[in-house]
Every structure is written in structure tokens, then in C-alpha cells.
Amino acid sequence: MGPMAGRVTIGDLAQRLGLSKASVSYALNGQPGVSEQTRARVLALARELQWYPSSSARTLSGARTGIVGLVLSRDPDLLGTEPYYMLVLSGIEAELIDAEYGLLLRMVGSEPGRDLPVYERWAGERRVDGVMLFDQRRDDPRIPLLRDLGLPAVLNGAAEPGSVLPTVVPDEHGDARQVVELLHGLGHRWIGHLSGPSGLLHEERRELLLRAAAAPAGIEVESIRGDYTMGTAERLIGERLRRGPGPTAWVASNDVMALGAVRAAARAGVDVPGRLSVVSWDDSLLCEIGAPPITALDRHPRDFGRRCARALLAEIAGTPDDGAGARPSELRVRSSTGPAAP
Amino acid sequence: MGPMAGRVTIGDLAQRLGLSKASVSYALNGQPGVSEQTRARVLALARELQWYPSSSARTLSGARTGIVGLVLSRDPDLLGTEPYYMLVLSGIEAELIDAEYGLLLRMVGSEPGRDLPVYERWAGERRVDGVMLFDQRRDDPRIPLLRDLGLPAVLNGAAEPGSVLPTVVPDEHGDARQVVELLHGLGHRWIGHLSGPSGLLHEERRELLLRAAAAPAGIEVESIRGDYTMGTAERLIGERLRRGPGPTAWVASNDVMALGAVRAAARAGVDVPGRLSVVSWDDSLLCEIGAPPITALDRHPRDFGRRCARALLAEIAGTPDDGAGARPSELRVRSSTGPAAP
């Protein structure tokens, strides 16, 4: 028996086996109401014909796994030190609790491409109902792969124009504008951007948006690539401070790097904020308790996590996402920013 | 056909179907080498006879899910603010990367008992190869349940004497001794213990161990129960400071509560460490950058996470755990501790 033309449905299985659609559905979903013999016949045919539940069929039949997947291509050490991801994760979990969903988390290290076999396996073994994607890269190979696998997916944090997947993006345009307005108002005309690793779409986007906001205000932007860790940030900013005249304010792409910048200044005897201002693109308890406390963008990471999870659950259910927009970020002005040094 | 006497083996299935054990194994594990018809026959019989792979059989046959489960009965907000769990999680993930395992994370909120149906479902649907247990309670209902379900499990963080499950416990005896020695040497004779929520075995154990270490040194211990959050800690210590003479040093059960204690002191105009010393049972970046930086026990949470994951993987594989002991904690003495106020 070869595969049938088009998608195999529960109706097709029922017809071939001379059973009701309900019986086939019970059998496929592990529900009571059919004998073990019948269940075995249904499962055997379903496997033979490569029947695969569509996301809407899964919703209707209740055959979902109740699990969404997240593959992180990151050094696991970062997971323990960078609060942002943990706050997003806690928002995701808060939404998943309500939906009684579990999160299958798989870390694969930061070497590119090691995540792809995981999606293939999850789809093949029907381990998850859908996946959340973060840290999008240009020409991201996950997108065509997930389309081919037919696995529901939502892109979070950045999206290439014309992306085929549903996306949840923060308002980074507004974020860049707020940061530049603050620094411009304090008289800064030369600012530095300590970004995250290259290749990440949201980092490229921030860089563009910062420059776009700064240019009309006559502000020069200089960039250094960090790796989200405090140690590297401290070394890079330390080197830059020793190289002579430079930015009077640094915008770091996360809180941990902002702390590194403050440490580098302290080590070089450069007063913060007297001689150098520091802004963090992420807010957290680390910024709040820093010495000095660090001016930071509160981008509501828990809300963002909730939105990401909600969008994926809607995609899995085949219902429209509620489409609630992002709450605008709030710039928490603390003691790490002050008037530009003359 | 009724269930067979004793455990159904791959050999039983092979005999009944007139197939080789290898073919049955290929069919069960989704490996190539058998026709779809044969695979369907094997699966049907396996289901009918309720064949279930034993943990050692799963290892040998490669039929594992490649997933371990973790149910957290916690407010997801805590996940985002308390670094300890995230550091443990990053250690777990570091070990799982090497083993190419995924972690299925399910949060169920802090109401007791809501985790039990999750284990039942995971075992019934064979979603995970084993589970990690944290936050053990007295007469913990998870232990008999997991034994009945036959799901490999490892207890982490505390164990009742005579526990039937393998356990990974930190050296909290040594931890308590180190903290008491430091404070005794500084002349403190009345210390406070700001513990975590009641009912948690490791919190009860810490309380006992602190008192056991303090008594021979002539130190009095007074206890307050916190909930691991900064806000509650700040309120409780603030109230205690207002009530008149009290401990000259507080030991907080996590870093976030230690920060809360320092805040309460600042708000009450009580100098740290001049009038009050504060020690955190957990170390993290928060303690390092606090103002003042907080003396804390570095309990090597990443190593602990790695040990927990390694013990579970060994249990799943049916091999002995390497049994590597805990690295002794290191007390990082910073500026939040000083001589007892006269």
C-alpha cells in the first residue's frame, strides 16, 4: 500500500479500516473507548500511511504532546549569569503553567548548526507541539527546515523582512530613540555601542537603530563587539579607554557587559558618571544594585516571554494570536549617567 | 492474549512473532532494517503485551528518549531573580550537552501536589528517561509515586535518612561550620537565620546544622522564615530591627534575601558591617557587586548541577555513578561582615 495522494486524514484511516472516525481518533490519541486490537490496527495503518496530525487536528483531537521546545545555541554558563534570558524564561513558564504545557529545553553549545538535528528529531518523534526560536541569524537555516518539517514555530526578538514565520518583536526602534534622547539631553555627542556577538539579527538591528536615532542629533556612534560576558566587556572597554579620546557614554547590549564597562572605568580611574556614562540595554537586579546603580532599559522581559509563549500556543492551536503589542520599554535613569564631560 | 507472567522482554516478542531479537529491537527503536509491516506487527504486540523497556534495556537498545524531566513547584518569578537555580540549571545543561540530552522543564506553581500528575503522565507516555527532584519535603509523596511508576529518579539537595532513591547532597555540615567559625571569630554571640519557606528538608537541615555548630561556641541562634524574595526579607529584617536588641549578624538562606537584609539595615540607618553583619548562604554576581559586597558561601552550584545530571544519567544507564564527592564550599569573605558591635 503506497502513500495516498495529499494529506492522510483520520477519515481516510477510518474508511480503510471500516471504523468510525471517533474510534480512530481514540486509538491515535491513546484514549479509552477502543480495544487494544483495534488500537494496534489503527496505529499500524497510521504508521504505514505516514499519517501525521495537523496542528488544528491535534487541537481538536486532544492529541497534543503538551510540550513546546526551545533549543538554545549558547554557552550554558551564560544562562546562569545573564538575567535577561532567565526573566524571559520565567515569563514563558508563567504562560505555560496556565496552559499546562511543559518546556523542552535543549542546549547545544554555541557552534552553529548543531541545533538543526534536534528539530528534525523532535518533529520525527513528535516530541513537541511547536518550537520557539530566539537569536535569529541572517539567512537562518532553521526557518526553511521548520517549514519543511511542518513544525509550528514562532520567531522571537527579530525578524527578517518577509519572514514566513509568525514573529514577536520588541519595539527596538522606540528603545534606541529613548537611549539616544537621554544621552543627547545630557550633552553627549560621541557614544559607544558595546554590542553582542556578530551575526545576531537583533544586534545588527540595534546597531542600525542607534545610528539612525543618533545621526539627526549630530551624535557619532562607535562600535565594539562584545560577547555578552562581563570579563570580555571589562577588557574591551579598558583597552578603549587606554587608546585615548573616545566616547563619553557607552551603551552596552546587556546588563552584564554594562557592569564590565563600569569595572573597566573604575580600574582606569575614570569616574562614572563624572567622566563616563554607562547605559544598559537590559534592566535587572544587577543594574539596580550596581555601584553606581546603572541606567537601564526595562524592556519587560517577563511580558515578552509571555507574549512569545502565547504566540506559539496560538500557532499550535491554529487560532489567531491576540496580537497584544509590546508594552513600551521604560528607561530607568539611575546614577551611571550624567552630563557629558567637557 | 493476556499479559505474560513477569516482565515482557524483547525475546518474548521475538519468539511470539517468529522474528530475530535484532529485528524486534530495530522495530521498537524506530531504526531502519525492518519493513513497515514488520514494524507495525511488533509495535502492535508490544502495546498489547504492555512491553516496557527497562532502563538497562533502553541503554542497550538505544531506545531512550534522550530527555530528562524536571518539575519545579515554584513561582516562575523566582526563576528569574534567584541566580542559584539558574546556575544549577546551567550546570545540568552543561552535563546534558555532553550526553546529547534535553531537559523537559515543567513548572506547576507552588501549590503542593500539582507536580504528581505530571510524573504520571511522563511515565505513561514515556516522555522522559528519568527525573531530577529538588526541594524535597518531609514524607515527600513523589518518592513512593516514582517508585511505583518505575521512573528513574535522583534526589538532589537533601535526603531523608533511609531514602530509597539515589541522592546528591551538598556538604551542608561543612557549610554551617564555615559560617559559624567566621562569625564566632568576629565575636558574634547572637546570630539570626533568615531561612527559606517551611517544609523544605534542606532548610530544616540548615537550621539544625547552624544550631549544632553554634551551640558549642556559645552562640545563640534566632530564626525567621522568609520566602526567598528580597521584598519579604527586607520587610522581616526591618521589623526585627525595630523590635529592639537582636542578632549582630544575619545568615540569609539565599543571596536575594541577603540583599534584602542589607537594604533593611540601610533603611533603618544601621551600618553594615559596623553594626550588623550579613552572610549569604549562596554566592552569585549579586553578592559580588552589592554595596557593600556580601560575604557568601560559594557552593559551586554549576558543579552541583553537573553532579545531579551525572547521577541521573548513571541511574538511567544502570551504571554506577562515579560518586565524585562535592567540592567543599568556599566562604568568600567580603565587606558585609565585621567584628560584632559591642
* pLDDT attached to residue B103: 93
Residues 6+ apart with CB under 8 A from B254: B82, B84, B196, B228, B280, B281, B282
Instruction: Suggest the residue from B35, B92, B106, B126 to mutate for an interface test with chain A (most A CBs closer than 10 A).
Output: B106
Residue whose grid cell is 503589542? A325
- Give residue A31's pLDDT band: very low, low, confident or very high (50, 70, 90): low
A89 and B97 within 8 Å at the Cβ level: the answer is no
B48 and A67 within 8 Å at the Cβ level: the answer is no
DSSP for B90-103 reads: HHHHHHHHHHT-EE
Using an 8 Å CB-CB cutoff, list chain B residues near A38.
Answer: none
A40 and B47 within 8 Å at the Cβ level: the answer is yes
DSSP state of A237: H
- The bridge status of strand A249-252 relative to strand B249-252 is unpaired
* pLDDT attached to residue A198: 87
A256 and B285 within 8 Å at the Cβ level: the answer is yes
Host H or E run for residue B237? helix B230-242
- How does pLDDT run across A128-178, given as a tens digit for each residue? 999 999 988 888 899 989 988 889 999 998 777 767 788 898 889 999 999
CATH architecture of B10-52: Orthogonal Bundle (1.10)
The Cα–Cα gap between A90 and A278 comes to 27
Average pLDDT on B123-135 reads: 89
How many angstroms away from the CA of A174 is the closest CA of chain B? 25
Average pLDDT on B143-153 reads: 90
Residues of chain A with CATH 3.40.50.2300: 67-170+303-317, 172-299
Average pLDDT on B118-127 reads: 84
Residues of chain A with CATH 1.10.260.40: 10-51
Using an 8 Å CB-CB cutoff, list chain A residues near B83.
Answer: 80-81, 83
Please say whether the structural domain B67-170+303-317 has been given the CATH code 3.40.50.2300: yes
Q: What share of chain B is helix, strand, coil (3-state, %, to 5)?
A: 45, 15, 40
Task: Answer yes or no: is pLDDT of B35 > 90.
Answer: no
> Per the structure block, which three cell numbers stand in for A332?
530607568
- Give residue A52's pLDDT band: very low, low, confident or very high (50, 70, 90): low
Using an 8 Å CB-CB cutoff, list chain B residues near A67.
Answer: 104, 127
Task: Answer yes or no: is pLDDT of B325 > 90.
Answer: no
A40 and B48 within 8 Å at the Cβ level: the answer is yes
Q: Largest Cα–Cα distance in chain A? A: 86
Using an 8 Å CB-CB cutoff, list chain A residues near B302.
Answer: 77, 80
- Give residue A2's pLDDT band: very low, low, confident or very high (50, 70, 90): very low
- The helix/strand/coil state of B308 is helix
Residue B291 CB neighbour total at 10 angstroms = 16
Task: Answer yes or no: is pLDDT of A32 > 70.
Answer: no
A107 and B89 within 8 Å at the Cβ level: the answer is no
How many angstroms away from the CA of B266 is the closest CA of chain A? 13
* pLDDT attached to residue B37: 84
- Percent of chain B with pLDDT strictly greater than 90: 53
Instruction: Suggest the residue from A34, A45, A86 to mutate for an interface test with chain B (most B CBs closer than 10 A).
Output: A86
Using an 8 Å CB-CB cutoff, list chain A residues near B106.
Answer: 96, 102-103
- Give residue B137's pLDDT band: very low, low, confident or very high (50, 70, 90): confident
* pLDDT attached to residue B56: 37
B301 and A80 within 8 Å at the Cβ level: the answer is yes
* pLDDT attached to residue A3: 39
The Cα–Cα gap between B96 and B80 comes to 21
With CA atoms as reference, the chain B residue closest to A100 would be B108
Residue B172 CB neighbour total at 10 angstroms = 21
Q: Number of residue pairs across A and B with CB atoms under 8 Å? A: 140
Q: Which residues pair with A176 in a beta bridge?
A: none
* pLDDT attached to residue A53: 52
The Cα–Cα gap between A64 and A69 comes to 13
A80 and B65 within 8 Å at the Cβ level: the answer is no
Is-contact A89 A79, C-beta < 8 A?
A: no
* pLDDT attached to residue B333: 98
* pLDDT attached to residue A60: 38
With CA atoms as reference, the chain B residue closest to A89 would be B80
At residue A163, what are phi and psi to the nearest 5 degrees?
-60, 140
* pLDDT attached to residue B324: 66
Using an 8 Å CB-CB cutoff, list chain A residues near B47.
Answer: 36, 39-40, 43
With CA atoms as reference, the chain A residue closest to B92 would be A76
CATH architecture of A10-51: Orthogonal Bundle (1.10)
Is-contact B205 B172, C-beta < 8 A?
A: yes
The lowest-confidence range among A322-326, B5-9, B86-90, B110-114 is: B5-9
DSSP state of B137: B
B80 and A90 within 8 Å at the Cβ level: the answer is yes
> At CA B70, angle to CA B65 and CA B76, rounded to 5?
135
Q: Where are the alpha helices (DSSP H) in B18-157?
A: 21-28, 36-48, 55-61, 76-81, 83-99, 116-124, 142-149
Q: What CA–CA distances, in Å, run from B173 to A279, B84, B203, B212, B246?
A: 43, 19, 12, 9, 25
- How does pLDDT run across B161-186, given as a tens digit for each residue? 767 788 898 889 999 999 999 999 99
B47 and A43 within 8 Å at the Cβ level: the answer is yes
How many angstroms away from the CA of B28 is the closest CA of chain A? 13
- The helix/strand/coil state of A252 is strand
- How does pLDDT run across A195-229, given as a tens digit for each residue? 998 888 999 999 999 999 999 999 999 999 999 99
Task: Answer yes or no: is pLDDT of A57 > 60.
Answer: no
The lowest-confidence range among A29-43, A55-69, B139-153 is: A55-69
* pLDDT attached to residue B190: 98
- How does pLDDT run across B261-309, given as a tens digit for each residue? 999 999 999 999 999 999 999 999 999 999 899 999 999 999 999 999 9
How many angstroms away from the CA of A72 is the closest CA of chain B? 10
Higher-confidence residue of B24 and B5: namely B24
A76 and B93 within 8 Å at the Cβ level: the answer is yes
Average pLDDT on A24-49 reads: 77
Q: Which residue type sits at B221?
A: V
Higher-confidence residue of A238 and B32: namely A238
Is-contact B91 B311, C-beta < 8 A?
A: no
Host H or E run for residue B260? helix B255-267
- The bridge status of strand B130-133 relative to strand B102-107 is unpaired
The lowest-confidence range among A89-103, A268-282, B207-221, B261-275 is: A89-103
A41 and B41 within 8 Å at the Cβ level: the answer is no
- How does pLDDT run across B237-256, given as a tens digit for each residue? 999 999 999 999 999 999 99
- Minimal CA–CA distance to B57: which of B94, B12, B92, B109? B12
Using an 8 Å CB-CB cutoff, list chain B residues near A39.
Answer: 47
Q: Domain A172-299: which topology?
A: Rossmann fold (3.40.50)
* pLDDT attached to residue A29: 67
With CA atoms as reference, the chain B residue closest to A85 would be B80
How many angstroms away from the CA of A108 is the closest CA of chain B? 6
With CA atoms as reference, the chain A residue closest to B291 would be A291
Task: Answer yes or no: is pLDDT of A234 > 50.
Answer: yes
DSSP for A270-332 reads: --TTTT-EEEESS--HHHHHSSSPPEEEE--HHHHHHHHHHHHHHHHHTS----PPPPPPEEE
Question: For chain A, how far is it from start to end, CA to CA, in angstroms?
Answer: 82
How many angstroms away from the CA of B308 is the closest CA of chain A? 16
Using an 8 Å CB-CB cutoff, list chain B residues near A76.
Answer: 90-91, 93-94, 97
Q: Please give the mean pLDDT across all residues of chain B.
A: 87
Residues of chain B with CATH 1.10.260.40: 10-52
- Give residue B340's pLDDT band: very low, low, confident or very high (50, 70, 90): very high
Q: What is the ipTM of this complex?
A: 0.73
- How does pLDDT run across B40-58, given as a tens digit for each residue? 888 888 777 766 554 334 4
B67 and A103 within 8 Å at the Cβ level: the answer is no
- The region that residue B336 occupies, defined by phi over 0 for left and psi between -120 and 50 for alpha, beta otherwise, is alpha
Average pLDDT on A237-264 reads: 97
* pLDDT attached to residue B122: 86
- How does pLDDT run across A76-85, given as a tens digit for each residue? 777 777 788 8
